[in-house]
Amino acid sequence: MVSAFSGLSQIGGNSAYSFLNIPISARSSSLGGSSIGFKDNDINLVQDNPSNLDTTLHNNLSINYINYVSDINAGTFYYAHRIKKGALGVGIQFLGYGNFEKREANGDKTGEFKAGDYALNIGYGRSFKSVWSAGANIKLIYSNYYEYFSSAVALDLGGGYKGKKGLFTAGIVLKNLGTSLRKNQAGELESLPFEINMGISQRVPNSPFRFHLQYHHLQKWDLGSDDPNYQGGVKTNVKTGETSRKKFTVDNFMRHFILGTDLVFGENFFLTVAYNFRRRTELAFSQRKGLSGFSLGAGIKIKRLRFNYSYAQYTLSGGSSHIGISTNLSEYFTKK
């Protein structure tokens, strides 16, 4: 059940706690699933790259809700606070799989139960010499599936760069370093979905366009091995009938990339479109791909509140909607 639902954003993998790969916020979802290289004083970007957490986000609060698939719902809460050297952040992330019926072998209903994943996030970040930044995020993870309980601890490490003019930004993240704390039924400690991701963002001078490029899974080249439908570079030995597959293919290379574009109308409104190569390759129907892999988003600031919305298409039959709201609490208590 865990990999079937939580891992919808991509196929396969051999790790548990794949709910950690679900886009954290509407802003992240609109950019193809995450935002590694973009820094814009937006608290919604902190959980993608903890180096985005700094003193400029003091008293910022964000809440996001995700209508994921069917009756599966998820959400996040995050708050940042300035300290003497840098900033601290705390957040909660959850994924609820809905209600399930408990039945006997003969089909008689004996009750109901719920299943869910939860993570408490505690982060720290700071800037250096105005252009460099670094941060870390500790995640305490708990999963509950009827009679099965699991817990884990994970660490995200991030680094970032923002040019003095603010037009170019870059970042790198080591995501989900850690281990489970309790052995599974097979007596093994389950691994976490570890990734090394990097990205860059460039605003075109004197124009409304900003472009994003992300490269995911630096630690693993062959992403096709996780896809049971992958046929790229497959060869069959005529004599033995054995098959072999080329790992170094254009298809495999492109699965690492996410492209995105913002159309920025001043400081209070923007539109976003992004394309996730891997998501489209692995989840789209071969005959009718539609808009699988694409995501759309918009953000608007009305007085003290900033609203974000995104829609990400996974398959031809459906996708997920994200709604987010963020604000700076200091604006409500500042003396006039």
pLDDT of residue 111: 82
* Residue 229 confidence (pLDDT): 58
Q: How far apart are CA 285 and CA 280, in angstroms?
A: 9
Residue 208, token pair as written in the block: 């409304």
**The predicted structure's pLDDT at residue 190:** 87
What pLDDT sits at residue 2? 42
In 3D, which of 246, 235, 312 has the Cα closest to residue 278?
312
DSSP 146: T
Consecutive 10-residue averages of pLDDT for the chain (336 residues): 44 74 92 93 94 96 90 93 95 91 81 90 93 97 89 97 94 96 83 95 96 95 69 56 69 92 94 94 74 93 96 83 96 72
- Is the C-alpha dihedral spanning 196, 5, 65, 124 positive or negative? negative
Report d(CA 8, CA 47) in Å as an integer.
Answer: 20
Closest Cα partner for 181 from 142, 215, 217?
142
- What are the residue boundaries of the structural domains of the chain, listed by start? 2-99+113-218+256-298
Give pLDDT, residue 44.
Answer: 94
The 10 Å Cβ neighbour count of residue 209 is 12
pLDDT reported for residue 74 = 93
Given a contact cutoff of 8 angstroms between Cβ atoms, the answer to whether 59 and 329 are in contact is yes
What DSSP letter does each residue of 224-283 carry, written as one string?
GGG-TT--TTEEE-TTT--EEE-SS-HHHHHTTEEEEEEEE-TTSEEEEEEEEHHHHHHH
What pLDDT, on a 0 to 100 scale, did the predictor assign at position 93? 95
- 14: region left, alpha or beta (phi > 0 left; psi from -120 to 50 alpha): alpha
Contact of 193 with 13, CB cutoff 8 Å:
yes
